[in-house]
Amino acid sequence: MVPLESVLETPKPSSEPLFVPPKPRPREPKPPEPRLPRRFKIVDVVSQAVLAEGVGAREALAVLKDVRRNIDVRVYVFQPKADRWRLLTLDEQRRLWDRRKLADDPSSHAKTGSARGAA
């Protein structure tokens, strides 16, 4: 019989150093996309006529000034990612309705602290 130590070879130490990859650097977060101005669509409840579509906030407020009550219209806002119009909640529509009086009154911008009114 042959001794077991002579049959089995022991691993020889490698002359090359062990390679350890560097830790990956965290990626820089993508800068947020600039927010597009909101676009509104205003529809008369009774006649289903579109009073305004694709208008900005100021134009929407100008259209709302000609409406008698806030429940006479439905106001939608365009969601670009979903590519659809979303009906504003009653609370959102009320807030928009309350601002309709401030749309053309330059003195009201100073009261609300708007930078445009202060200039």
Tens digit of each residue's pLDDT (9 = 90 or more) over 82-96 = 999 999 999 999 999
Short-list 50, 107, 111, 98, CA closest to 75: 50
Task: Give the Cβ contact number of residue 99 at 10 Å.
Answer: 15
Over residues 18-62, the pLDDT tens digits come to: 888 899 999 999 998 888 899 999 999 999 999 999 999 999 999
What b/e string do you get for 27-56 counting C-beta neighbours within 10 Å, with b at 16 or more?
A: eeeeeeeeeeeebbbbbeeeeeeebbeebe
Angle at 19 between CA 15 and CA 25, to 5 degrees: 165
Reading the block at residue 99, the tokens are 């601002």
Backbone torsions φ then ψ of 75, nearest 5 degrees: -115, 130
Mean pLDDT calculated for residue range 110-119: 44
Residue 115 pLDDT > 50? no
